[in-house]
Chains A and B, each alone.
Chain A
Amino acid sequence: MSAKVTIKLFASFREAVGEGSLDWPLPPSGSLTAGELLTALVAEYPALNGPSKAARIMLNHQYASPEAILKAGDEIAFIPPVGGG
C-alpha cells in the first residue's frame, strides 16, 4: 500500500471540491510540502483557484506553515476564513 495523507475540507472548500475528505498519495520519492499539496489540489479542482489564496493550513489539528513537510498518515486541512461565534 502506498503512503498517503488525508485532506480535510470544510465550508466553501468542501463545496468547491464536492467532498469533505480525500486521500492523497505521497510521491514515492522526495518530499511534498503542505503548500505544494494545496497547489496540486487546486490544479485538480479549479473551483478552488480564487478561494484557496485565503487558506490557512492545519496539520494534524494544529496551524502549520506551507513549508511543513508531509508524512504518511498525516491529516492536513485547508482552512477557509473562519466564521465562528
Chain B
Amino acid sequence: MAQIIRITDQPIDLQELVEAVTNERNGGVVLFSGIVRRWNEGQEVHWLEYEAYKEAAEEAMALIAQEVEQRWDTTDIAMVHRVGHLEIGEIAVGVAVGAAHRAEAFDACEFAIDTLKATAPIWKKESWEGQDGQQGQKWVENKV
C-alpha cells in the first residue's frame, strides 16, 4: 500500500507520484496532472495564486483515498496539490492511481480528481487580461 496525500508550496514531482503507486500488484497506473493554462474563458491568464485550508484539505483528500479503496479495491493513490504563486505551465495538482487493471485505474483517478475539485477547501485567484487590454484579479470557482 502506498499513499501520498499532501498540500505543498513546492513544485510537484510527477515521477514521485507514479513511482509511489507502481508495484507488482498493479497492471495499470493512471496519472492526472492539472496545469496552469494560458487562456481561460477568452481571457489571457498571467498567473494563479492558490490558497488552501491545509489540514482540512489533506483530510478531505484522505477521505477520497478511503473511498477509492472501498470502491476500487486499491490503496495505491498519490494526490498532491500545490499552493502559492504559479506561472503558466506549472503543475497545480497531480493524482496517480495504481490498480490491477486499467479500467479501475482510469475510473478511480477520475473520481479522485473530480471529488478533490468539488470538496477540497482550496481556492485560486486568477490574474487576467482581456482582449481590450483590461486587467484584473478574481477568485475562480470550480463548476459543479
Contacts and interface: CB of A to CB of B under 8 A. Distances in A.
Interface of A: 8, 10-12, 14, 58, 61-63, 77, 79-85
Contacts of B34: 85
Interface stretch (B13-21, B22-30, B115-123): B115-123
Nearest to A14: B51
B123 A85 contact: no
Interface residues on B, range: 20 to 34
Interface of B: 34, 50-53, 55-57, 59, 81, 92-93, 113, 116-125, 139-142
B93 A84 contact: yes
Contacts of B142: 81-85
A74 B142 CA distance: 28
A61 B59 contact: yes
Contacts of B93: 84-85
B36 to A, nearest CB: 11
A85 B92 contact: yes
